[in-house]
Amino acid sequence: MADPNHKKAETLRTRVLQGPGHVAPAVRQAAAANVDVPLAFASYVDTIHEKPAAVTDDDVEALKASGFTEDEIFEVTVAAATGAGFRRLDAVLALLEDEG
């Protein structure tokens, strides 16, 4: 079964992870995969991937206090959330394929 939204999803993934931004694409890609994330963002990104409801304003304030701008924090947040969301979507689609 062809997914009519596949192309849109891939466009989103490409724009978030490779498009222009305040944070280098390599950092956004690392945040999306939750692999080799720069140390300053590692705990924050891991929380987004594993328990996103646990992210607090204090987490964001700590990143700001470390010298990151709101734009940089936003981009890393979106990249991590996008990566986590696609990881979950891919897992569900794989299960459906196995049932098919």
1: pLDDT strictly greater than 80: no
- Concatenating the DSSP letter of every residue in the chain gives ---TTHHHHHHHHHHHHHS--SS-HHHHHHHHHTSS--HHHHHHHHHHHH-GGG--HHHHHHHHHTT--HHHHHHHHHHHHHHHHHHHHHHHHHHHHHH-
pLDDT of amino acid 100: 62
Express as a percent the part of the chain with pLDDT over 90: 79
pLDDT bracket for residue 97 (50, 70, 90): confident
pLDDT digits (tens, 9 = 90+) for 35-75: 999 999 999 999 999 999 999 999 999 999 999 999 999 99
Q: How many CB atoms lie within 10 A of CB 85?
A: 16
Express as a percent the part of the chain with pLDDT over 70: 97
